[in-house]
Chains A and B, each alone.
Chain A
Amino acid sequence: MTTVHDGEPGAVATTASRPRGPHPLLTFLAKRVAVTAGLLLGVTVVTFGLVNVVPGDPVTANLSDQALNDPAAVAAFREKWGLDQPLWAQYLHYLGNLLHGDLGHSQQTGRAVLDDLLHYVPATLELALPSMVLALLIGTGVGMLAAVRNGRFTDQLVRVGALLGLSTPPFWLSLVVLYVFFYQLGLAPSGGRLSTDFSPPPTVTGMYTVDGALAGQWDVAWDAAQHLSLPVLVLTSLTVAMLVRFVRSAMLEVLQQDYIRAAYAKGLPTRVVLRRHLLRAGLVPVVTVSGLAFASLLSGTVLVESIFGWPGVGQYAYRSATALDLPAILGVSLFVALVYTLVNLTVDLLYGLIDPRIRLS
């Protein structure tokens, strides 16, 4: 009988090879759901506590100076947002609403925080997805190249490039990219998701390129794609710089393994060694760091979004934080925690696919 690991995706487990009881994958997922719920609860406690201990009062941040001089206006604001209640009562009220899927209303926008997130997440997703795909392709390729060219000029060049990329502040790179591609060359728009002559396409996914194509509004989709180009270029560059270092280091480690030497010694062509052995073995740490990079992209890149006028989660988080908008801050924190949890779960599942020696447990 072929030996397969329990729970390995794609593995055909037999009753003879696996003890009775729930499938290990189900057990694994159940545990992760429980951990996620605990984690999210912890996030609400910590965020709620932090926002309430930092200096600053939501009333001061949200009312005009004139209104602050009017006790009735201040009292009305406190009452409306429950700020006149004890902290514990505010927290319990929030948790109660959360159990019903209600994240509360933003003091800034007046809208449900969930609606706000559903509005801003697709915009960030539209930036993060192409950035991540491009970064993965370029980062993995260039990282492998550097590894196999270890110590040579190509490797030095890649290392210097990666170091430069990691040392470059995102806002600075954004401004440089804007200056070159928008101002000097006139090749791309300066900011926003669409030119002002266009209206957004009917909402399906919230991503204008996709929705434009779905609606057959190709001019809108093309315009949206143009507006994506510069922020995607910046985010891709920054993510590539991070990935290259990890890929190179992971691949170098694998290249030292005996089975790689043996493969070369057997006379296998380089492309076969790279694809069958090096890539597969070296991808595990790469997947880990890629997951974190993607989660970081999804949780918002505040400065890049600000400079390119991109209405995503990052800008929403920034506005909420500066206005001490507690419901919105809690909502964004929960979203970020959820993103990291889901990405980690995906990474764990991918481990099994990439390297069957890794068990889910």
Chain B
Amino acid sequence: MSVSPRRLLAGASALATLAVLSVSACSAGGSGGNANGTAKTLTVNTSFVLKTLDPGRVYEATGLTAVHALYDTLLTFKGSDVSKPVPALAESYQASPDATTFTFKLRQGVTFADGTPLTADDVVFSLNRLKNIKGSPAVTVSGLTVTKTDDSTVVVVSATPDPNIPVVLSMPSTAVLNSKIAKEHGARDGADAAQGDTAQQYLDTNSVGSGPYVLKSYDPSSQVVLEANPKYWGTKPQFSRVVLRNMDVQTQKLTMQRAEAAEISLDISGKLLDGLPGSLQTSGVQDTVYFLFLNADPGVSAVTSNPKFNQALRAAIDYQGIAALYGKGAAPGAGLVAPAFPGALPAGEESKRDVAKAKALLTEAGLTNPTVKFTYPAITYKGVDLGTVATKVQGDAAEAGIKLELNPQPLTTFLDEMRGGKSPLGFTPQSLNYPVADSLINNMAPGQATALRSGWTVERADPAVVAAGKKVTATLDLAGRATAMQEWQRLMNASSPYLVLASNSSIVVATTDLTGADYTAAGWQVDVAAIGRK
């Protein structure tokens, strides 16, 4: 059959051209429409980890960044310095010598965004609500009692001595809400608030704080828009509008490579930093550690619960090589406390490889070619594919005669399995929810909740480790506590079921015209209200 369907061809060509033109007709929209250098919008690109903007329930990274800009807390941290809280709503505070009673004097003249004066009642309501709705961050204040002595004085009493209460009260979850509006929309602070509080939906779409910004719009899949609070009591932010925009990390990198002004990115780290233009600014600190956990329960694994195997695996790993996998900003593992926080082990105490020692320890343990199932979440975390690291660990262990069977899992399955305490060997990253390293004692010391997931009971632990942990919590002086933390970590490295592989940095990448785009380990990643233009 001989046909010449010119019209068909012409039609198809026209449509194809139309499709291409639909793209090429687009002007260079840039990534955020602020490429002209004069926009008042600051664009923050990040892969959303966002469930809520309700301060009583927020604990995810993106939510913390937004809530910190929308609400004030009694104290805060300035810039990237997380060593000492500074005044915010409280212009000053006093701690009792036994570190149980903290008295805060509120700043005068502070109003919420709607003009209502902020009082001690609002502080008491907000902290009690946080405690009683029992959301994810509630545990940080579970032992606290909050009262007011007058309209500008709040007293916080801790059930146990704790010099870090000021740090806890700097966290975004302790934000002070306009209690009148919050109550009108279902917020409750009583003992039954876990069931009675219905304010989350309102607080996800409306802010009732006194912070530098107010919430303009909220979409947990797309973007969160903040607008400057005209009634803010402090230094007015330079950007009248901030857009937190959900973006895949690869797209963030492309976007930043073309960005001309007023744009930052929160997830480009590790190897992804390679190839970025030198004109972009980067700021970061090592606030994440990646560690293995070996099960100390012989009922789960006769191999991993063997102390000699534990030490053999420690000696088998190439820590320098693993740090190289993470790229810029990483370092070989030292202790459980990441370098960003007080109490981290000093430089020079990184773990080192000794394959001969590993083999000798295996022989001492009576183990020949031991085989262990190695479970980890199949995710990329802060630019690092955990599978790549796990494969490197597998290879290092093999050189010492240890066979690791890789068992990658979806994140939820991994979490469930880890919580069940049935994994012989696992691998996970860890960041602190707030910048107090000694909170690790409450989780990871023998007999504590996280330790028990690895079968590490007090009975199975070296008494010296238990004593070192107790010494940390008994030390009320912060400098002394940091020293005690270091000693605890050295003892943990000798016998705990945790094996720290590396520490890695979180990074803020910013266009060159910006100032104050500093990464902070305080939890909110970057203080968007502090970002200005040169």
Residues of A near any B CB (own CB < 8 A): 54-57, 60-70, 72-73, 76-77, 79-80, 108-111, 119-120, 134, 137-138, 141-142, 144-145, 148-149, 154, 175, 178-179, 181-183, 185-193, 195-200, 223, 225-227, 229-230, 232-233, 236, 255, 264, 270-271, 274, 306-312, 315-316, 319, 322-324
Name A69's closest neighbour in chain B (CB-CB).
Answer: B449
Contact of A264 among B1, B200, B250 (CB under 8 A): B1
Q: How far is the CA of A312 from the CA of B442 in the complex (A)?
A: 41
Pairwise interchain contact B137-A324, C-beta atoms closer than 8 A: no
Given A76-B194, A187-B28, check contact A69 B139 (CB 8 Å): yes
25 pairs, CB–CB < 8 Å, chain A vs chain B: A57-B412, A63-B136, A65-B450, A66-B137, A66-B140, A70-B142, A80-B195, A108-B51, A111-B201, A119-B219, A120-B221, A138-B12, A142-B12, A145-B5, A148-B1, A154-B9, A178-B251, A191-B245, A192-B246, A195-B30, A196-B43, A226-B29, A264-B1, A270-B3, A309-B222
A-facing mask of B183-208, CB < 8 A → 1, else 0?
A: 00000000000110000110010000
Check if B32 is an interface residue, CB within 8 A of chain A.
yes
Name A70's closest neighbour in chain B (CB-CB).
Answer: B139
Name B216's closest neighbour in chain A (CB-CB).
Answer: A199
Q: How far is the CA of A186 from the CA of B260 in the complex (A)?
A: 12
Pairwise interchain contact A322-B411, C-beta atoms closer than 8 A: yes
Q: How far is the CA of A30 from the CA of B204 in the complex (A)?
A: 42
Interface residues of B in 214-250 (CB under 8 A from A): 216-217, 219-223, 225, 241, 243, 245-248, 250
Pairwise interchain contact B134-A196, C-beta atoms closer than 8 A: no
Q: Least Cβ distance of A355 to chain B in Å? A: 21
Contact of B33 among A66, A142, A196, A309 (CB under 8 A): A196
Residues of B within 8 A of A80 (CB): 194-195
Q: Least Cβ distance of A224 to chain B in Å? A: 11
Check if B360 is an interface residue, CB within 8 A of chain A.
no
Pairwise interchain contact A138-B16, C-beta atoms closer than 8 A: yes
Pairwise interchain contact B416-A141, C-beta atoms closer than 8 A: no
Name A197's closest neighbour in chain B (CB-CB).
Answer: B33
Pairwise interchain contact A67-B33, C-beta atoms closer than 8 A: no
Interface residues of B in 36-50 (CB under 8 A from A): 39, 41, 43
Q: How far is the CA of A214 from the CA of B222 in the complex (A)?
A: 23
A-facing mask of B122-145, CB < 8 A → 1, else 0?
A: 000000000001111111101000
Check if B460 is an interface residue, CB within 8 A of chain A.
no
Residues of A within 8 A of B137 (CB): 64, 66-67
Check if B457 is an interface residue, CB within 8 A of chain A.
no
Given A73-B136, A183-B258, A196-B41, 20 other A-B contacts at CB below 8 A? A56-B416, A57-B412, A60-B416, A62-B51, A63-B136, A67-B139, A68-B419, A69-B139, A70-B138, A72-B194, A80-B194, A142-B12, A144-B8, A154-B9, A187-B26, A187-B28, A196-B243, A233-B19, A306-B248, A310-B222
Check if B415 is an interface residue, CB within 8 A of chain A.
yes
Name A236's closest neighbour in chain B (CB-CB).
Answer: B19
Pairwise interchain contact B251-A191, C-beta atoms closer than 8 A: yes
Residues of B near any A CB (own CB < 8 A): 1, 3-5, 7-9, 11-12, 15-16, 18-19, 22-24, 26-34, 39, 41, 43, 51-52, 54, 59, 133-140, 142, 194-195, 200-201, 204, 216-217, 219-223, 225, 241, 243, 245-248, 250-251, 254-255, 257-258, 410-413, 415-417, 419, 433, 442-443, 448-450
Pairwise interchain contact B134-A76, C-beta atoms closer than 8 A: yes
Contact of A60 among B29, B43, B223, B419 (CB under 8 A): B419
Residues of A within 8 A of B241 (CB): 196
Pairwise interchain contact B419-A196, C-beta atoms closer than 8 A: no
3 nearest A-B pairs in the assembled complex, by CB-CB distance? A195-B33, A311-B222, A311-B221
Name B415's closest neighbour in chain A (CB-CB).
Answer: A60
Pairwise interchain contact B247-A309, C-beta atoms closer than 8 A: yes
Q: Least Cβ distance of B157 to chain A in Å? A: 20
Residues of B within 8 A of A55 (CB): 412-413, 416-417
Q: How far is the CA of A225 from the CA of B27 in the complex (A)?
A: 11
A149, A270, A312: most-surrounded residue (chain B CB, <10 A): A270
Q: How far is the CA of A193 from the CA of B222 in the complex (A)?
A: 8
Pairwise interchain contact B8-A274, C-beta atoms closer than 8 A: yes
Q: How far is the CA of A56 from the CA of B410 in the complex (A)?
A: 9
Q: How far is the CA of A213 from the CA of B246 in the complex (A)?
A: 25
Q: How far is the CA of A103 from the CA of B368 in the complex (A)?
A: 56
Q: Least Cβ distance of A276 to chain B in Å? A: 14
Residues of B within 8 A of A142 (CB): 12
Residues of A within 8 A of B415 (CB): 56-57, 60-61
Residues of A within 8 A of B136 (CB): 63-64, 66-67, 73
Q: How far is the CA of A63 from the CA of B19 in the complex (A)?
A: 46
Q: Least Cβ distance of A21 to chain B in Å? A: 46
Contact of B258 among A186, A191, A323 (CB under 8 A): A186
Contact of B449 among A68, A79, A323, A324 (CB under 8 A): A68
Pairwise interchain contact B23-A179, C-beta atoms closer than 8 A: no
Residues of A within 8 A of B247 (CB): 190-192, 309
Residues of A within 8 A of B443 (CB): 65-66, 69
Residues of A within 8 A of B433 (CB): 64-66
Q: How far is the CA of A164 from the CA of B244 in the complex (A)?
A: 37
Contact of A141 among B11, B52, B410 (CB under 8 A): B11
B4, B43, B255: most-surrounded residue (chain A CB, <10 A): B255
Residues of A within 8 A of B223 (CB): 192, 196
Q: How far is the CA of A309 from the CA of B247 in the complex (A)?
A: 5
Residues of B within 8 A of A182 (CB): 31, 254-255, 258
Given A64-B137, A145-B5, A183-B258, check contact A307 B39 (CB 8 Å): no
Q: How far is the CA of A233 from the CA of B15 in the complex (A)?
A: 12
Name A233's closest neighbour in chain B (CB-CB).
Answer: B23
Q: How far is the CA of A138 from the CA of B12 in the complex (A)?
A: 6
Q: Least Cβ distance of A172 to chain B in Å? A: 11
Residues of B within 8 A of A144 (CB): 5, 8
Q: Least Cβ distance of A361 to chain B in Å? A: 35
Residues of B within 8 A of A110 (CB): 51-52, 54, 200-201, 204
Q: How far is the CA of A148 from the CA of B5 in the complex (A)?
A: 8
Given A57-B419, A196-B43, A271-B7, check contact A190 B255 (CB 8 Å): yes
Contact of B254 among A111, A148, A183 (CB under 8 A): A183
Q: How far is the CA of A137 from the CA of B19 in the complex (A)?
A: 11
Pairwise interchain contact A191-B248, C-beta atoms closer than 8 A: yes
Q: How far is the CA of A119 from the CA of B218 in the complex (A)?
A: 12
Residues of B within 8 A of A198 (CB): 33
B223, B247, B412: most-surrounded residue (chain A CB, <10 A): B412
Pairwise interchain contact B248-A73, C-beta atoms closer than 8 A: no
Residues of B within 8 A of A141 (CB): 8, 11-12, 15
Q: Least Cβ distance of B447 to chain A in Å? A: 12
Contact of B29 among A119, A188, A232, A315 (CB under 8 A): A188
Q: Least Cβ distance of B168 to chain A in Å? A: 11
Residues of A within 8 A of B195 (CB): 76, 79-80
Pairwise interchain contact B39-A270, C-beta atoms closer than 8 A: no
Given A65-B443, A178-B254, A183-B257, check contact A195 B29 (CB 8 Å): yes
